[in-house]
Structure 1
Amino acid sequence: MNRLGKMKLELTWHNKDQALIPAAEGKYGYKWVSPKDPRYCETHVLELGDVIEGHKAPKDPKHTYSDRADLEPIADNLLILGESGDVLESLTRIPELSEKYVGQVKCVYIDPPFNTGQAFDHYEDNLEHSIWLTMMRDRLLHIRRLMSADGSIWVHLDDAEVHRMRSLLDEVFGPEKFVAEIIWQKSDSPRSDASEFSSDHDTILVYKRSDAFEVNRLERSAADDVRFTNPDSDPHGPWWDGDPTAPGASTHQGMVYAIQHPMTGELVYPGRGRCWSLGQPEVLEIMRGWAPYKLEDISDADERAARCGLDAKDVRRGVQAIMLAVPPEEARRAAEERYNAGQWPQFILRKGGAGGLGRKAYVSTKGSVPRTLWLNTDVGQNRTAKSEIKALFPNNAAFDTPKPERLLQRIIHIASNPGDTILDVFAGSGTTAAVAHKMGRRWVTCELLEDTFEKFTLPRLKKVVEGQDDGGVTVTSDEKYKQVLKSLNGALNIYPDLKEDKATKDFKKALRAKKEPDTINWLGGGAFQVARLAPACFDFDLDLGLTTLTDAAGDIELLTKSVAAQLGFKLTPKDTIFHGSKGSMRLYVTRNSLTPELATEIAASLGEGERVTIASTSVLDESRQALRQASRGSKVVHIPDDIFQIDGEDAF
């Protein structure tokens, strides 16, 4: 049941109440443990490394630039080597990171392992369903915390798990937060090695964090506007013949009535089940633009009832028709005169004036509403992405299923604005971060496999900030030219004898002259910091049922950071005595034996109203009592016994 006491549909699977930890570092492989197991509960520290910085190149007056090229490059970005679950825990639990990222991520795009049972060159994609679901459930819960109220998550999958992921997203975000299921055409040709069907598409599931989410509309293309014309010289601009009616006749009976045609004199009604799209006073005023009109009761309840799908006795009474106020011939002359003069009313007369009624639909100034079918001609396909990777890394084999930059550009455009934060915890070759950077967004991304990180992710993002990435969305080419040329070449393959025809050559020459110059969108610049997940400081002995320290905990600096992360303290590196703070509580970490004398000495360094938590690997008798006497409210924590407060019976 949910919190309102109502039953809800819930997906169940084996070991759903358990947690997963990596079976080996740097690989896709997991094992079940209790949610209280220290190996699952431990918050891994981020070890911050180099800052990779680039500089924005000056514009060349010989080239054309978009508004995006004027955006100030973002420097506050983070590239992490590490397992996605551990990275997300760090972002949500370490105070310095949680303050920065929790509730601040506007757009999340993840392209997780598809669980297809196949082994790819760059990662293992053969997780068993229940493991895959638990892995994704845990990550989605962390991601949800990171998302802003107006944020959204875009999950990219194929057919293997998309149906289960839809149920899982319903469970984590709520079914009412579902936004769309997008179909991306990833291929434009069949695979001859397919045993049954050749898959042409992937699915992208979109969910919102709350109703505050809003989409950014897409820029209109020439193809979007081809149907808009202006045959009557309308001062409002081009329009097309739209539907003057709307659904809902039975619930909007007052908008179901006859309009007498000004040319033919015939009575025109909305189609069955539909009503006029505007209120009657507005429609009356519009029709008076053609001829004199009036409201009149014509006793047409039976006809109106039929249009509403109701019995005549149930239809609303007293709804008048819009009728001509002058003789039909006089109305026809007035309508013909207006038709020939142009600048017609909003309700138009089709077929030269003798047809039915239409309604002017103008070109939207807000752009195009995103649709759920994304063709590869608009956003690229796998082959496009492989070409982008090959251009960046000619000596490295491309990924099997990379994503084209134009696909991510559309997602990021719809879901965010310049300066917003983008998150991707399955970085792969780094496409999401690369596109986010070029679009003036902040980004955080991580990659599990060190080989992928070193060969692809890190060097690609270096190229982006250094302005050495000329592919993808860096440059926008004339897509109209490309489409026409592609169609022409396709036709010439069917009729090769036309290739040498003079008319064909003249057309190609004219087409090249029409081609618009390329537009440059990115000039380099900005920066990002490289980070790695620190090794674990804590382990768990299954036989003894005890939390233990790893060899990495021998590094006192790492141990201090780890203890601070586990206990929720913010580090205070400039403090000469204490290592962290949380409100008025101070943190002191030591591998030395904590004696009563040392506890008293540490407490003596506290300021007025301050307390201290002393974490030590060795606590001698009477130390806790000595600290309580020296500073009321202070406490001693033994490392590792008191860090996770777990007993042996709860651990696996």
Structure 2
Amino acid sequence: LARRDEGYEWVPPHDYRVSEVRLLRDAALVGRTETDESRSSDNLLIRGDALNALVSLSELPAFGAEYVGRVRLAYIDPPFNTGQAFENYDDNLEHSVWLTMIRDRLVQIRRLLSEDGSVWLHLDDTQMHRARCVLDEVFGSSNFVANVIWQKTHTRENRTDISIGHDNLIVYAADKPLWKKARNLLPPSEAQRSRYSNPDDDPRGDWASLPVHAKAEKGRRKEQFFTITLPSGRKVEPPPGRCWLFVRERYEEVVVDGRIWFGEDGDSMPRLKKFWSEVQQGLVPTSIWPHDEVGTTGTAKAEILSLFPDLTPFSTPKPEALIERIIHIGSNPGDIVLDCFLGSGTTAAVAHKMGRRWVGVEWREDTVRDFAMPRLKKVVDGEDSGGVTDLTGWTGGGGFRVVDVAPSMFEESDGVVYLSDWAVNGALAEATAAQLGFAYAPDHPFVGRKGRSRLAVLDGHLSGAVADLLAAALGPRETLVICGTSVDPEVKERIQAAAPGSAIRKIPASILTQYRLNYRERRQRELARIEAPEEVPA
């Protein structure tokens, strides 16, 4: 569990600080946004802990409908377990705390990902091998895609044993076969395109030439060994240890089709034309991303300094070109991109410029105030001319909503959990609806609905007379859940008789009990999934 001092602590899985579904409170609007009723459709800059925010995106009905199973790409750049957040633990516990922190957040991200979605976990070498085990558990080992190496610096550090110049991007898919079909190829480079030309004015356009011979391995047909007569009249054989790509009949068909090049004088070894128009319009991404393609940490620092010349940039920022490549491969315009360790806002800024929807979560208030929020405002206003602005043709537009993770509805003193002072009246009703999975929709005397069940919340004593009034307000075949801070013992039977299938809850005790039950059920499902044999694609 994250602490405000940037550390972490162990708590039971059913602890209210983990299990509680926090409300998301609007704090500010920037640029063009949706109405409050459709606020979940906006780009979201969420201030608060990543775990709380991810749970809220899944469990709050208005947000769950928008995000569960719909996030196309999650990029997460968590603390690398090398700083102050974990300095008070011994080595073994330190690893456990960090891995548990990552696992809890990955489990929530898995719920949000679409079937063709992917998660990109950015790490150095410190925890990479351990993180792979956690990712295998959450996503399944068969959904491992690649470990991409990013050359984050091209200078040499002479004060260490080996100069480390790279970070790792561990890529997992929600469903690898689906992701492979949906992922985007990289555009060809100028150097690759320049290899194609049209020296013979072929009407099919530019082409590059390839050898017409191949290694004469076992299994080659004897018909692939024959003599070719060039236009000049010279006869040629395959080079030693080689054979032609085709049998004679197929070779002659290719010649008639004008796909063989004999050189400008007609006397060169034949070569096969490969037309640009027939080439796969993109390149399969490789696992090595050099600095001259996607930038370095130095590039990223320069980008931050150009936006905030009076501020000291992060020690390890990520260049926009790196994030642009990740987003390009893993999503399309209009898709949702998530970053729950947003930092200075690079992921959200690049996603915005690329026409994606985005959700960014950052728990350090000063980072949001000094970097992320003003940076994203510059993007919206068209005042960010750096990074991938020219590449994407970005000129400004759109907007985003700043949202705060609400404080807990509970407080604790001497081991006793009670309701916070702010959780009264309407605030108590909204918070209670969130815990029980009801859509908060005040419609006096009710405050929420879930299917044919209505919710009523009383910040006070629930008497028989009040229960009768609530039951009388129900529609045909509707049931009722009543929550009160104090409950008359006789009310339960009374409400069951008036509205069969209804329930009475005393808060906060019943909610805390529900957390324990939910954890038990969730753990049983997880164990069943882990113990089940994993299906590996043929």
Same fold by TM-score, threshold 0.5 exceeded? yes
1:440 aligns with 2:309: no
1:359 aligns with 2:272: yes
* Counterpart for residue 534 of structure 2: none
1:417 pairs with one of 322, 326, 332: 332
Number of positions where the alignment pairs a residue of Structure 1 with one of Structure 2 = 501
SS at match of 1:108: strand
Structure 1: runs of 5+ lacking an equivalent? 1-20, 56-73, 290-343, 477-519
* Counterpart for residue 172 of structure 2: 207
User: Are the structure 2 counterparts of residues 630 and 646 from structure 1 closer, same or farther at C-alpha, using a change threshold of 3 Å?
Assistant: closer
User: Are the structure 2 counterparts of residues 524 and 247 from structure 1 closer, same or farther at C-alpha, using a change threshold of 3 Å?
Assistant: farther
In structure 1, what is the Cα distance between the partners aligned to 2:441 and 2:475?
15
Letter in 2 for 1:198: S
* Counterpart for residue 378 of structure 2: 463
Give the drift of 1:187: 1.2
In structure 2, what is the Cα distance between the partners aligned to 1:245 and 1:609?
78
Q: Larger Rg: 1 or 2?
A: 1
User: Are the structure 2 counterparts of residues 628 and 197 from structure 1 closer, same or farther at C-alpha, using a change threshold of 3 Å?
Assistant: same
1:173 aligns with 2:151: no
Asked if the contact 1:425–1:447 (Cα under 8 Å) also holds between the matched residues in 2, the reply is: yes
1:407 pairs with one of 319, 322, 325: 322
Asked if the contact 2:115–2:174 (Cα under 8 Å) also holds between the matched residues in 1, the reply is: yes
In structure 2, what is the Cα distance between the partners aligned to 1:391 and 1:402?
13
Asked if the contact 1:54–1:467 (Cα under 8 Å) also holds between the matched residues in 2, the reply is: no
Q: Give TM-score scaled by structure 2 length.
A: 0.85
Give the drift of 1:386: 0.7
Asked if the contact 2:428–2:459 (Cα under 8 Å) also holds between the matched residues in 1, the reply is: no
* Counterpart for residue 257 of structure 1: 224
Task: Describe how 1:23-34 pairs up with structure 2 within 5 A.
Answer: 24-25=3-4, 27-34=5-12
* Counterpart for residue 556 of structure 1: 425
Give the drift of 1:229: 3.0
1:377 aligns with 2:288: no
Letter in 2 for 1:456: F
User: Are the structure 2 counterparts of residues 234 and 180 from structure 1 closer, same or farther at C-alpha, using a change threshold of 3 Å?
Assistant: farther
1:450 aligns with 2:365: yes
In structure 1, what is the Cα distance between the partners aligned to 2:436 and 2:153?
49
Asked if the contact 1:584–1:611 (Cα under 8 Å) also holds between the matched residues in 2, the reply is: yes
In structure 2, what is the Cα distance between the partners aligned to 1:191 and 1:584?
65
* Counterpart for residue 25 of structure 2: 47
Asked if the contact 2:184–2:330 (Cα under 8 Å) also holds between the matched residues in 1, the reply is: yes
SS at match of 1:390: helix
In structure 2, what is the Cα distance between the partners aligned to 1:175 and 1:266?
52
Asked if the contact 1:184–1:201 (Cα under 8 Å) also holds between the matched residues in 2, the reply is: yes
Asked if the contact 2:349–2:376 (Cα under 8 Å) also holds between the matched residues in 1, the reply is: yes
Q: Could you list the per-position Cα deviations for residues 503-530 of structure 1 after superposition, in whole angstroms to 9, with x for gaps in the alignment?
A: xxxxxxxxxxxxxxxxx81221111111
In structure 2, what is the Cα distance between the partners aligned to 1:647 and 1:223?
58
Give the drift of 1:361: 2.7
1:602 aligns with 2:467: no
Moved more, 163-172 or 153-162: 163-172
Give the drift of 1:588: 0.7
SS at match of 1:224: helix
Give the drift of 1:456: 0.9
1:151 aligns with 2:117: yes
In structure 2, what is the Cα distance between the partners aligned to 1:227 and 1:630?
81
Letter in 1 for 2:436: L
Letter in 2 for 1:530: V
Instruction: Report % sequence identity.
Output: 42
User: Are the structure 2 counterparts of residues 623 and 236 from structure 1 closer, same or farther at C-alpha, using a change threshold of 3 Å?
Assistant: same
* Counterpart for residue 299 of structure 1: none
Letter in 2 for 1:144: R
Alignment RMSD (CA, Å)? 3.1
In structure 1, what is the Cα distance between the partners aligned to 2:283 and 2:314?
33
* Counterpart for residue 567 of structure 1: 436
User: Are the structure 2 counterparts of residues 126 and 32 from structure 1 closer, same or farther at C-alpha, using a change threshold of 3 Å?
Assistant: closer
Asked if the contact 2:185–2:282 (Cα under 8 Å) also holds between the matched residues in 1, the reply is: yes
1:268 aligns with 2:140: no
* Counterpart for residue 307 of structure 1: none
1:92 pairs with one of 53, 58, 65: 58
Give the drift of 1:163: 2.1
1:137 aligns with 2:100: no
Task: Describe how 1:286-297 pairs up with structure 2 within 5 A.
Answer: 286-287=254-255, 289=256
Q: Could you list the per-position Cα deviations for residues 81-100 of structure 1 after superposition, in whole angstroms to 9, with x for gaps in the alignment?
A: 01111111111111111110
In structure 2, what is the Cα distance between the partners aligned to 1:39 and 1:248?
68
1:110 pairs with one of 54, 70, 76: 76
Structure 2: runs of 5+ lacking an equivalent? 34-39, 521-538
Give the drift of 1:279: 8.2
Give the drift of 1:553: 5.1
Asked if the contact 2:462–2:484 (Cα under 8 Å) also holds between the matched residues in 1, the reply is: yes
In structure 1, what is the Cα distance between the partners aligned to 2:496 and 2:240?
83
In structure 1, what is the Cα distance between the partners aligned to 2:118 and 2:497?
51
Give the drift of 1:554: 3.6
